[in-house]
Amino acid sequence: MHERGVIRNREFKQQIADFSGLRFGKITPTDLDAFMDFHNKLFVFVESKHGGAPLPYGQRLAIERLCDACHNPPIRYAVAFITKHESNGDIDFSQTVVTQYRWAGKWVTPKVPDAPLIDGVNTFRARCLASNVVPFSRTA
């Protein structure tokens, strides 16, 4: 049994995905860096950029559409986080800084500057899931 969330096959993670054969006019594939599903009640999407590089228009549009299509309160909630990091090595995603998030059809800039992703996820877990949800610790 492998520890969850830990890179198991580092050499595979370093492979480059070539999407050049999947071009349909202006449409090409995009990716997300992380996805979390909390009991089919809260979906969390994450895209992180190095140094706060801008999100390309097509990727932003895809994230908006995916998040908005999944957001159907009170049955299911969806939030998408855009974060930044400065790492040139392994990235601790829990500590990437939230620059924007998509909620209820709108992009929002966080009120708290330099808020780490773990805080954003815990905020929405508390907001959208049962009131007895215990926040995950920053080290868990």
Examine the pLDDT at 41 and tell me if it is beyond 70. yes
CB-based contact 67:102 (threshold 8 Å):
yes
CB-based contact 25:58 (threshold 8 Å):
no
The pLDDT value given to residue 139: 47
Closest to 95 in 3D by CA, of 83, 103, 108, 106: 83
Cα–Cα distances (Å) from 132 to 128, 136, 137, in that order, read 11, 12, 15
> Percentage helix, strand, coil, to 5, in the chain?
25, 25, 50
The pLDDT value given to residue 11: 75
The pLDDT value given to residue 131: 58
Burial code (b: 16+ CB inside 10 Å, e: under 16) for 101-110 equals bbbeeeeeeb
Task: Determine which helix (DSSP H) or strand (DSSP E) holds 43, and give its type and residue range.
Answer: strand 42-50
For the chain, list the domains and their CATH numbers: 25-128 (3.40.1350)
Mean pLDDT computed over 62-72: 97
pLDDT confidence of 16, banded at 50, 70, 90? confident
pLDDT confidence of 14, banded at 50, 70, 90? confident
Q: Please tell me the distance from the alpha carbon of residue 11 to that of residue 35, in angstroms, as a whole number.
A: 21
Q: Please tell me the distance from the alpha carbon of residue 95 to that of residue 117, in angstroms, as a whole number.
A: 6
Q: What is the pTM of this model?
A: 0.86
